[in-house]
Amino acid sequence: MVVATEEQQYSSAFKTSTTGASMATSFDYGVECAPIGVTAKHALLLANIEKRLIMGLSDAINSLAKTPEEYLFCFMAPPQPGDSATHMHEVLLQAFCFEHDIYIIKVDSAEKLSRLLGSSSLQSCALIQKNWSPDHQTELLSKAEDQLVDYCEEHWDSPIKPTVRLPDK
């Protein structure tokens, strides 16, 4: 069972979990009419705050190999030009995610993804773990995650996934 959490809980998680005033106020307005890139940003930041985020291609592959059923989204940025080894890993990771019903969200830039997640090194991949109720019977979705699920469902059968443009800031 999947339950979307209340927007108020979503916003308050950012207010109580962040130390920077600018980060807290940027989530006060909700994500109901936000472009999909802003929605993706909100989902990534919330997962990072809640310690449900795995960053990096190697860490993502290792985590998925152990418990693929624990993950909801896989965000993937394009590899650096000429990096065929990373490209092959990403193609295999996409196939694995598709096989295990993990939503793949292609983003426009590894630089933006890395900056957004506060990584000092370039990250081309990020996984979001599922969030469970205290009794571990119900999967909980934030408003942003619920909207991303709807977006992914719209494009599930597309052979080529659209690229989500992450906000520059």
Tell how far CA 163 is from the center of its chain: 13
Q: What percent of the chain has pLDDT over 90?
A: 66
pLDDT of residue 34: 66
For domain 2-164, the CATH superfamily is Ribosomal protein L30/S12 (3.30.1330.30)
Tell how far CA 96 is from the center of its chain: 16
**Residues paired with 105 in a beta bridge:** 75
Indicate the domain borders of the chain.
Answer: 2-164
Q: What percent of the chain has pLDDT over 70?
A: 80
User: Which residues make Cβ contacts (< 8 Å) with residue 157, sequence separation at least 6?
Assistant: none
**Where does 18-141 have alpha helices with state H?**
21-25, 36-49, 57-66, 84-99, 110-116
Q: Is the pLDDT of residue 142 over 60?
A: yes
- pTM of the full structure: 0.78
